[in-house]
Amino acid sequence: MVGVKAANCDIIRGDGKLPPLYRRKEYQVMTYIQERGSTHVYHVNRMSKEEMDHMISLCVHEQPAYCVAACPFKMDTKEMLYYAAKGNFKKALAIYEKITPFPMILCDGCTAPCEDNCKLCELGDGVSIREVERAIVRYGEPGRRSSVFRMRKKKKAAIFGSGLFPLFLAGELEKKMYPTTIYCKEEDYESYIAAATGHLLESDRSNEAKRLKSMDLSFEFGCSLNLSFIREKMELADVVCASEEVAKMLAPEEAADVEIMLREQAKIVSGPAESVMDAAFAAKRAALTVDLLVQNLSPHSNRGSEGAVTTKLYTNMEGIHGSNKIFCGQDGYSKEEAVEEAKRCIQCHCDECMKGCVYLSEYQKHPGLLAREIYNNTQIIMGDHPMNKPMNACALCGQCTVICPNGFDMSQVCKSARENMVSTDKMPLAPHEFALMDMLFSNSEAFLSRLQPGYETCRYVFFPGCQAGAIAPDVVIQAYEDLSNRVAGGVALMLGCCGAISEWAGRYEMTEKVNEQLKQELAKLGDPIIIAGCPSCMKQLKESIGAHVIGIWEILRKIGLPQQAKGLEIPVAIHDACGARGDAQTQDMIRQLLSDMGCIVEDTEYSRDLSPCCGYGGLTAYANKDMAAKMTEKCLERSDAPYITYCMACRDRFAREGRESRHILELLYGANASNMPDISEKRYNRLILKQTLLKNIWNEESVMEKKDYTVAYTEEAIHMMDERMILKSDVERVLSDYRENQEAILDEETKELVTRSRLGNVTFWVRFVETEDGYLVHRAYSHRMNIMKRVGQ
């Protein structure tokens, strides 16, 4: 294409020896985009790690459930109840055992702060978590101790005295593999347990004594815990721990710091024994203090988050009904009752964005995790980039931003990642090349910018958008004729692409070139107000070039409906375009226009700002066709009524899925769009639109050159080419090269000829037969490998 100004960076030119079947004479050279060309911004990140971390922090999916956050031990109550509800008490007990070495003792003395924070309390009774815990401990099978050899630590610990705190601390240190010796007055394990837990039933004490005996701990029973004995044994240990009674005897003038459980002057770890919960929690803090002391670190630092926390989790309670907890007798829940009570848990979580977004639900990853993986993908210097496909599958529609209670914007993450991959020369061209070439075509061969006849400058310019010209050229003609006849001040016309395609692809340099082209053309027209026929164009032109843009629907609301405007006689479902997300004025005007035409409009579950993408946005339809098809299906499952849209790409995708759909301009001007034009017909429609307008309005003739031979296509070939994004002009270029070099392979079985040509970055293969008038194409396919021909061998 001679004279391409839209994106002359990142492009190279082929020789294009023969034009396609319909080609204006002045365009004799085909333009291609360079594959992986270097840029002057190599290794420049478009989103910093700090910005990414801030974005990821907005996702609350991994925030703890309300019950978990309230628990000082951070027990995964939600998961424990999940397994209990399935009757798997063994796994439920294993979760409980993670937080305490003595589950029977802890559950008996647990004060259950989690119950007060259960989300179901908002609707009635919360889950009776403590009673379920007790049933789990009672009926669950304790896990076997791992047979895998664990290396014991070199530093030794000594614990003096008995009671709840020493007991729990012994268990915590044993978990951490510290060689620990306990010195106590008691004569055996049973009496040591009884000294700490006199409130337990004898059978429960016996079970906990067996658990204690199985631990890798050393006991010296029957000790006389006087000062001389204690000080003698202290010399054998690296860390000294004691009950509060012994600690007061060793350091009577010093109290333990309750944050770290340490008498710092005496170097004695000790803790309270007022209650089971206090002792168990103090033992956990004390065990961490032991860890820090043996590493010669400050016991005040590197402690992380201890105790109960505040959660930012959001849980949608819509559709959830309250219920009463199951009655619990003096003997506690039976196994069956515990299962039923655990089933009341609603498993609090936040997946609001995943409910409405096909992209997130298909990858089954919450946005925080997916964003992290995509960001890490951009940091890979050499090797595969496994997250390229997920990164390019996002429609960049912004639905997640509206649904998320914290405004997490996955579209910004993916867009920035694409720009980063382009700027560092790591983004393959293949996923977006066809769309970018289509944009170049719209802003070169199919581009048109003209003042309204009789005006030197115009107050307005009609910008219908590239998709409107490709799918509904007759609608564009009628809309422009109506506007130029009824709008005062003159209405110029501009046919082209707004640059959204290169913006979505992350090719920001190409976008800058498009912006420069549009600014120059608008200046020639007198910088008029843009009347956009597409909400995406409206959004892009406002943001990219700062233009004053209004929608055609706004003008029609002021000047009145065209005479031929007529709505459908049956109820219709309205699909809001992604470009109008957050634009309540546009959404309201569209509904008002439909009402004025007599349409009965029904809003679907996801409408207005919550509307999902049709699958075209973000170039998903080019980069991931399967994902785009699922997005379209998600849109259509909301209603069985005909769909009314105000985005031509949405209308086209719905029609391709067999659903009756109309663009609002079709109803306003009584002209239906083409019936699912293929990719070649879309380009041809743009050229015919430009030619027709030049002839009918500006009295300019465009000479179209026809070849002296014909090229016909079987239905299979047309379907295959549309599916594989092969243009008729590509096939005709291949056949043109064949006519010149006469190189082809003859298939003896089918008598078909097979030939190929390298056009830009793609090698095209065409299977055809020769006819009296020219050629009949049976099949076509392409790949990005370059076939080298050996000469002279």
776 HSE (CA, 13 A, CB side): 11
Q: Note the pLDDT tens digit of each residue in 480-528.
A: 999 999 999 999 999 999 999 999 999 988 999 999 999 999 999 999 9
Q: Note the pLDDT tens digit of each residue in 55-109.
A: 888 899 889 999 999 999 999 999 999 999 999 999 999 999 999 999 999 988 8
**Where does the pLDDT of residue 40 fall: very low under 50, low under 70, confident under 90, or very high at 90 and above?**
very low
What are the structural domains, with CATH classification, of the chain?
11-21+431-692 (no CATH), 49-61+354-423 (no CATH), 157-294 (3.50.50.60), 707-783 (3.30.2310)
pLDDT value at 18 more than 80: no
Burial 29-48 (b: 16+ CB within 10 A, else e): ebbbbeeeeeeeeeeebbbe
Q: Note the pLDDT tens digit of each residue in 643-669.
A: 999 999 999 999 988 888 999 999 999
**Where does the pLDDT of residue 322 fall: very low under 50, low under 70, confident under 90, or very high at 90 and above?**
confident
* Cβ-proximal residues to 673 (8 Å cutoff; 6+ apart), any chain: 471, 472, 474, 475, 648, 651, 652, 655, 663, 666
Higher local confidence (pLDDT), 706 or 683: 683
Q: Note the pLDDT tens digit of each residue in 197-216.
A: 877 888 888 988 999 998 98
Mean pLDDT value of segment 438-447: 93
pLDDT value at 27 more than 70: no
β 601-602/572-575 pair status: parallel
DSSP bridge partners of 783: 763
pLDDT value at 38 more than 80: no
Higher local confidence (pLDDT), 8 or 693: 693
Q: Note the pLDDT tens digit of each residue in 41-59.
A: 444 456 677 888 888 888 9
The per-residue pLDDT for 5 is 28
Angle at 105 between CA 104 and CA 108, to 5 degrees: 85
Query: What are 372's two structure tokens?
Result: 């992290």
Q: Which residue has the tokens 């005909």?
A: 642
**Where does the pLDDT of residue 379 fall: very low under 50, low under 70, confident under 90, or very high at 90 and above?**
confident
Q: Note the pLDDT tens digit of each residue in 285-318.
A: 999 999 999 998 998 888 888 888 999 999 988 8
pLDDT-wise least confident of 27-36, 39-48, 416-425, 666-675: 27-36
pLDDT value at 173 more than 90: yes
pLDDT value at 23 more than 50: no
Q: What is the mean pLDDT of the chain?
A: 87
Query: What are 233's two structure tokens?
Result: 């044994």
Share of the chain above pLDDT 90, in %: 58
The per-residue pLDDT for 7 is 30
The per-residue pLDDT for 45 is 54
Angle at 549 between CA 356 and CA 700, to 5 degrees: 115
Stated pTM of the model: 0.81
C-alpha to C-alpha distance for 278 and 105, rounded to whole angstroms: 12
Q: Which residue has the tokens 């840029």?
A: 39
The per-residue pLDDT for 1 is 26
